[in-house]
Amino acid sequence: MTSSDLSAFTSVWVIDTEFRQKDGERNEPVCLCALEVRTGRRLELFFDRHHDNPFNYSDALYVCYNASAEWKTFISLGWSLPPNVVDLYFEHLNAVNGLWHDNCDLRLTATGLADAMACYGLDGLSCTEKRGERDYILSQTSYPPEGQQRILEYCWKDVEGTARLLGEMSAELDLDQALLRGAYSRSVAWMENNGLPVSPLYRELDVHRQALQVEIAKRVEDVHSYGVFEIQGRTRPTPVFKQWRFDALVERSGLADLWPTTPRGHYSTRDKDVFRPMARLHPEFEPLRQARKSIKSLGLFGGAIGTDCRNRAPVHPFGTITSRNNYKAAQFVLSRPHWVRNLIAPSEGHALVYGDIVAAEAGIAADASGDPELVRIYNSGLDPYIEFGKSAGALPPDAVRDEKNRPDIEAVRDLYKVADLGIKYGIGGSSLATNLGAPAWQADRIIAEHKRTYAAYWAWAYAQIERAYQAGYIETAFGWRMVVERITKRNTILNFPQQATCAELMRLTCIFLEERGLGPMLCATHHDAFYLECPEALADQVSAELQSCFQDAAGVVLSGRVLLRLDSGVVHAGGHYVDTKGAEIWSIVTDFLKRCREVTQSNGPTESPDVAK
């Protein structure tokens, strides 16, 4: 099939829908407009009454801009989803990925329909006009005849704009690849429609979150005596993280020469770059880090949780340069501190099925590069980060992973996981020294040891970088492309193949799940993990189907050198997801909620207990 050939389809429909949606809730359909581009046939429906699905999906192509929004409307109407989809939003993101204009990343700043049209010299509705029309739709629950006509005219403008955009983009599309990306829009729609099931405890925490912030600060201070939090305010007590107290803590802990500082001379609390790696090296700081994150995260409670206790967060597919989903922490429970994940719980009579790819990036790097040592380690079932720790001399030759009984080995493993991933992404000696709490010469030696041990991987990685600079782009087997210019950082290119390949593997697994009828069970993906909810009696069957879809996807995406594995599990009805890394804060939270209920029973529904009794 050539890139511009649409003749395989008997009809090509361009569709747009309008809908209302409150945070955390499902779509409420308002209207639909559709144009068949060959015949000019026009179809419009207003959902002030029932309509059956008017489309015949046989040999038809459906073109949208951000198609998952339309498919959520279809799901709300009880309509099936079309099998053949091209999402011009996905295609536009692919076209501008890596491009900058006037110091702006186009992937982040120019992604609307009007932006895409402007790239081809087409005029569309301005952002101001679109905002005004959307505000009108959202402000009403019913519409008079003139209001209905106004909404339909607005919807038609987007249909006509999308049709014109298709005419400009069609010659550049690889239709097979576009159809594969478009198929993912159905999975996205199911995830955004279904959401993650969340325990009703979430609502209790939302009511008492200010008191819980104080509780966490006081309890962590009582146990660990950090002397960092200060409770301020009488009528509304608030925990405040005092930088000067943290500076004093670092110095009395003997870490003054190791802990990175800010330009103003304070010890840095940047989580990703400093606090997280330093807490891995010095676990006594981890409860403080988790407390600080938790207090901040509690300010995000209340958003994107529906009245049915489901976390419906926008997925933002293809939202990163490597095409991973890009959930926002303010909206997505799985992006919060570890203890919050314990609030994920299947609804009554249901089970939560989950699966996590085992050492995904290590396995993908082994498969792509063919490095014999990486392949041997992964296929043997050995832990790649334990093995790297051994090769660097940080662990004895007979060390094996034992999470419950050997926390010392687990701590070293965590560090060398950070080191392994960092080195593969081009981390320098000084940054690695910070992450490992080691002198620069030792970090340099570890990097050199990694490049010696995995020489075939590094030869492949450097060849990828050079080809990308010469060609002006780098892309995956399924056509996700990043433009590469001379200003593109080498580490960005180094990071691309593993991350982008993992993203394609995750997407294809979701596509297979949806095609095999499990779309209504899809809840979310996060990093390298999948989450589905199903009736309790189907848990084992769904878990097996998840494994099957994953292995089928791996067989397509990977070369076959590595047999990538998926660890899966089930949270049965009445239980909840357990994240052991958040155990200390979770214990504080559950004790607090127990006391809240006792106070409520005796004093009334709005009371919170005195903290840290």
> Model confidence over 73-121: pLDDT tens digits?
999 999 999 999 999 999 999 999 988 776 677 777 778 999 899 888 9
pLDDT bracket for residue 228 (50, 70, 90): very high
**Beta bridge mates, 267:** 261
Q: What is the pLDDT of residue 258?
A: 79
pLDDT digits (tens, 9 = 90+) for 362-390: 899 999 999 999 999 999 998 888 988 88
* Residue 124 CB coordination number (10 Å): 21
CATH architecture of 11-194: 2-Layer Sandwich (3.30)
| Structure-token pair, residue 70 | 């339309």
CB 382 within 8 A of CB 392: no
CB 497 within 8 A of CB 366: no
Query: Which residue type occupies 605?
Result: P
| Structure-token pair, residue 88 | 């011009």
pLDDT bracket for residue 8 (50, 70, 90): confident
Q: How is the chain split into domains, by residue range?
A: 11-194, 201-323+581-603
Mean pLDDT value of segment 28-49? 96
Q: Which of 358, 430, 437 is nearest to 401 (CA)?
A: 358
Q: CA-based diameter of the chain, in Å?
A: 77
Q: Which of 325, 376, 377 is nearest to 505 (CA)?
A: 325
* Residue 59 CB coordination number (10 Å): 11
pLDDT digits (tens, 9 = 90+) for 463-513: 999 999 999 999 999 999 999 988 889 999 998 999 999 999 999 999 999
pTM: 0.91
Query: How far is 232 from 237, CA to CA, in rounded Å?
Result: 5
Query: Which residue type occupies 82?
Result: P
What is the length of the chain?
A: 613
Helix, strand, coil percentages (3-state) for the chain, rounded to 5, are: 55, 15, 35
Write the CB contacts of 259 (distance below 8 Å, at least 6 apart in sequence).
Answer: 250, 267, 268, 274, 278
